Structure 1
Amino acid sequence: MSKKVDIKLIALTITLLMCVVVPIVFWPDGTSKIINDFFHMMTTDFAWAFLLIGFGCTIFFIFIIISKYGNIRLGGEDAKPHYKGFTWISMIITSALAAGILIFGIVEWMFYVESTPFGIEPRSVEAYEMASAYGMFHWGFSASAFYLPASLAIGYMLWNRKGKSMKISEACSEVLGKEKMKNSFFKLIIDGVVTFCFVGGLLITVGLGTSVIGELIGDLFNVDNTLTLRITIIFAFCAFFIAATSKSIAKGMAKISNFNIYLALAFFLFVFIVGPKSFILNNVVMAVGTNITNFVKMSFYTDAVAQTGFIQNWTIFYWAWYLSLSISIGLWVARISYGRTFRQIAIGVTVCLPLACWLSFGILGNYGMGLEVNNIANFSEIAVTEGNNAATLAVLKTMPVSTVAIIVFIVLVFFNLATSATSVSTMVAMITSKNLQVNEEPNKWFKVLWGCIFMVLPVTILYLENAVEELNILGIMQSMTSLFGVPLFFVNVILIWSAVKAIKTDYKNNKLKI
């Protein structure tokens, strides 16, 4: 066993995980307060930093699109892609967005009409207009741009520099040194932190997803959405890991990703047909226009004077979340993007992802908003008083053949969560394996092991929700994102620095043509 896996790296990762899990289990009240205090400090005192990082990633995307560096092809000039275009995009979308695009697509606007940005009066006409637009901003081009630098840097070091392993420290070799023992402790820390943050990056989607699925299943079978039910759903994820490992990435994940996309498109079409079509189309166009005219303002809005908390609870939370996912999604995108140019990857990640998000927010979100503004329902009050689980169920129950709609939504959320977790567990198994070639996959049992380990933190958070009365579980999960996002910023800096040095060296030595 020790010959195939990196025992030191696994031990470091589990130790870091236990440093979070143990305090939650034994001191839930005090731990939840510490987590919230840390989040408040990071999102208030360093809001400016998160916003500048997000805007900087957007500028980087534009640079790649218009510059000669967009012509760089992963694997070299003659490299051919491993996957067809639609399958490649599907794999990026399902692994990057998971269930968040579905859940937040339905409910996010509801919170914004009650807690508004820019000093807008709650529940006013302007509040509803800005609520629709702000959801698109939070899931727009700036959001997806967080994943691009790591995707390109890892991809170049992996395929063009012919990296010997999937370890992030290997991709940082131009800065850390290529000799095995040089900076070995620092390399171990980088890989340990990255692996630990992979676990945290899934917290929001798995935590929210299991709660929503539990709420919907509870309604279908007339049972309570208990801790036992939600943990059972997490065990179902583990069963999916075991089944998924019997297929290679190409045969398994590609097919499941395509299925997810087709089913989601069919569901969106159904919601559009049965929903207020005119309102949906008109409000989508207006929301796009609002994003265009207010993009810079939204990108730099720190709320320093009014201090309403909107920017901390949402924009900074999202930016921290995307930062915590940047390496894991970047590694996945790099792994499946052999034969693609930097420009193609930039379009796939920073254009196709936002368009998929906008489709979800535009149809699912405006379906509910259309009913509310026409006084048919009051979803925003449900969201604020009962939570996003109840609000999601309330929206789905207004649809024709609501039982079928609920079942389809459960399937979509489950498979989006499961495929995202499976892809990340595969990546972590690669990172923590020894002597694993780039085109090889880790042992089946090892992927299953990491898939199960990934479920420890969501289960712990569900326990915390059950142990602390009147706990805002969404707030706790939002708070924990900064724990994982901050250290990965520094890893991103080293990673990008290393890739830039490698590209400059290869170009100077005529090993790279642009």
Structure 2
Amino acid sequence: MLRKDQAAPLHTSAATGHDRATPPPDSRSDHRIDPVVLGTALTLCLAFVVWGVIDADSLAASAEALLDRVLHSTGWLYGLVASAAVVFALFLAVSRYGGIRLGGDDERPEFGILAWTAMLFASGMGIGLVFWGVAEPLSHLAEPPLGAAAPNSTEASRLAMEYSVFHWGLHPWSLYALVGLALAYGMFRKGRPNLLSSIVLPGRPCTSAASRAVDAFVVFLTTFGAAVSLGLGALQINNGLASTFGVPENTAVAIAVIAGLMVLFVLSAVTGLHRGIKHISTINAALAGLLVAFVFIAGPSIPVLQTMVETVGGYAAHIVPMASRTGVYGGEDWLAEWTVFYWAWWMSWAPFVGAFIARISRGRTIREFVVGVLVVPTALSVAWFAVMGGTGISMQLSGQAPLSEVLASSGEEGALFALFDHLPLAGVTSVAVIVLIALFFVSSADSASVVLATMCQRGALHPHRPLVVLWGVVIALTATVLLLAGGLSAIQTASLVISLPFLGLLVAACTGLFRELRGESTPDPAPPRGAR
């Protein structure tokens, strides 16, 4: 009898003639630590951080120059690939391939729907939504997208909500879904390791020079993507502690926050998916839901409902025009600073989030996977922005709270706490927000630690705990050094530039996935009966 941590054996299908008796990846592959991938990735990370410490100004200037060139010369390409990802993912869900299961034909999901949704949402962009949920709509209200409305006008508020959801909706989740789907299909149906090189370079051993180069690059990219997000989370927690308890708001406190949370996310990561990460993600979802419900009830409820309906309709009606704008007729700078910047940022996160989503999606059909990864998080993002961002805009336009002034003076990290300061029970809710940010911080970091360890251990589904701890510490130390060097923004910018080669990797992965799916001809299996 199989243990819960083993992949079920795959079955032979008479309908297709394909041999699905391939052993699960953990049972047939060599999962020793790959010293080349580990050493190369650590060396690259260390060299980049040392550059930031020794000469942060040089790093910032170089990164900004490269980013400006990338965003203005290839911004249209980012948009094209991101939109193509949406179309391809939805096509797979509604096509005959939607019934193909990520595993054996009779296999059932490893995780229940609630735990699965909570984990993918927390690892994907939970901490980002908390950071930007109020700040982005207010930013667009003050400086409307593409200059298409007067600042602080009704039209500006409509555009602010539509573009916020556009930036956090189907497009980023499609990127995550396609990477995760390709990896999950390869792992649980074809017996390949959970490595990006296995879908970009199918057929080549993970120890080949090309495969190791791809995996080392992905580890390098993921480390900085996670470190920058954790740095932003630490700054927001510091702002919350300052506004709630009078704690000084400085780099030292932010580093102390990172140190404390590092212990928590390392402990969570080493306990495994079925304990730490699963339970923390579930708590995250419950606490986020309670906070949204509180803001909805305590704030302008009817305008928020109206905002939600208008935003959904506007997003559906304008998604194609928004996605196809390149700035050739004006607004190129705004698009580069917001839309293209977001597409590049999501692509820098796609290898990590995709690998984690793949790891937790064994047993689901492609249709379930795409609907779960695209539709559910997009709906949650709409609700979050409508309640948080809609309430912030309502307070600003009605004169109830000068949130735009707070945004301009304290930065994006202070917008959320400024919102709660103008609602009942400000002290209690501010503490709850700090806890929520900390838990999202932990869930994102421990997910990243597990994925990075997996990549350095030749795709092992259950990497060695010391390796998980190592990458947890590396992420925390990287975020700390960046804060000390004042180079957080520069590293964020540079990591986006580094993500440019991922465009090619994503296209290669999708091409390979479609080629393999065309060989499948099984009818839709019966719907799942629930998690095992």
TM-score over 0.5 for the pair: yes
CA distance in 1, matches of 2:460, 2:247: 48
Closer, same or farther: CA 191–513 of 1 in aligned 2, 3 Å: farther
Deviation of 1:66 after TM superposition, in Å, equals 1.6
CA distance in 1, matches of 2:455, 2:284: 27
Deviation of 1:489 after TM superposition, in Å, equals 2.0
CA distance in 2, matches of 1:476, 1:278: 42
Deviation of 1:481 after TM superposition, in Å, equals 4.1
Q: Quote the residue 2:184 is aligned against.
A: 155
**1:280 paired residue among 282, 304, 316:** 304
Q: Quote the residue 2:506 is aligned against.
A: 492
Which amino acid in 1 is paired with 2:174? A
Deviation of 1:311 after TM superposition, in Å, equals 1.0
Q: Quote the residue 2:211 is aligned against.
A: 187
1:444-463 to 2 correspondences below 5 Å: 444-463=465-484
Q: Is the 8 A contact 1:43 1:312 kept in 2?
A: yes
Deviation of 1:346 after TM superposition, in Å, equals 0.4
User: Cα RMSD over matched residues?
Assistant: 2.0
CA distance in 2, matches of 1:13, 1:320: 21
CA distance in 2, matches of 1:22, 1:136: 37
Which amino acid in 1 is paired with 2:510? I
Which amino acid in 1 is paired with 2:263? A
Deviation of 1:280 after TM superposition, in Å, equals 0.8
Structure 1, 388-397 or 343-352: larger mean CA deviation: 388-397
Which amino acid in 1 is paired with 2:239? E
Which amino acid in 2 is paired with 1:453? V
Q: Quote the residue 1:217 is aligned against.
A: 241
Q: Alignment partner of 2:134: what SS?
A: helix
Deviation of 1:437 after TM superposition, in Å, equals 4.9
Q: Alignment partner of 1:359: what SS?
A: helix
Closer, same or farther: CA 437–453 of 1 in aligned 2, 3 Å: closer
Does residue 329 (structure 1) correspond to residue 343 (structure 2)? The answer is no
Closer, same or farther: CA 476–399 of 1 in aligned 2, 3 Å: farther
Does residue 292 (structure 1) correspond to residue 322 (structure 2)? The answer is no
Q: Quote the residue 1:256 is aligned against.
A: 280
**2:80 paired residue among 52, 64, 74:** 52
Closer, same or farther: CA 387–230 of 1 in aligned 2, 3 Å: same
Deviation of 1:180 after TM superposition, in Å, equals 6.3
Deviation of 1:414 after TM superposition, in Å, equals 0.9
Which amino acid in 1 is paired with 2:352? S
Which amino acid in 1 is paired with 2:230? V
Q: Is the 8 A contact 2:205 2:211 kept in 1?
A: no
Q: Quote the residue 2:496 is aligned against.
A: 482
Q: Is the 8 A contact 1:202 1:421 kept in 2?
A: yes
Deviation of 1:513 after TM superposition, in Å, equals 5.7
CA distance in 2, matches of 1:213, 1:452: 19
Which amino acid in 1 is paired with 2:365? T
Does residue 170 (structure 1) correspond to residue 191 (structure 2)? The answer is no
CA distance in 2, matches of 1:335, 1:22: 33
Q: How many positions carry a matched residue from both structures?
A: 494
Q: Quote the residue 1:310 is aligned against.
A: 334
Q: Alignment partner of 2:338: what SS?
A: helix
Q: Quote the residue 2:155 is aligned against.
A: 126
Q: Alignment partner of 1:392: what SS?
A: helix
Q: Quote the residue 2:42 is aligned against.
A: 14
Q: Quote the residue 1:470 is aligned against.
A: none
Does residue 236 (structure 1) correspond to residue 260 (structure 2)? The answer is yes
Q: Quote the residue 1:406 is aligned against.
A: 430
Which amino acid in 1 is paired with 2:471? W
Q: Is the 8 A contact 1:303 1:311 kept in 2?
A: yes
CA distance in 2, matches of 1:201, 1:427: 13
Q: Deviations over 1:407-446 (max 9, x none)?
A: 1101111111211110111111112125x754xx122221
Q: Deviations over 1:269-307 (max 9, x none)?
A: 111111011111111211222212211111012223334
TM-score, with structure 2 as normaliser: 0.88
Q: Is the 8 A contact 1:197 1:488 kept in 2?
A: no
1:26-45 to 2 correspondences below 5 Å: 26-45=54-73
Q: Is the 8 A contact 1:272 1:363 kept in 2?
A: yes
Identical aligned residues as a percent: 26
Q: Quote the residue 1:76 is aligned against.
A: 104
Q: Is the 8 A contact 1:74 1:156 kept in 2?
A: yes
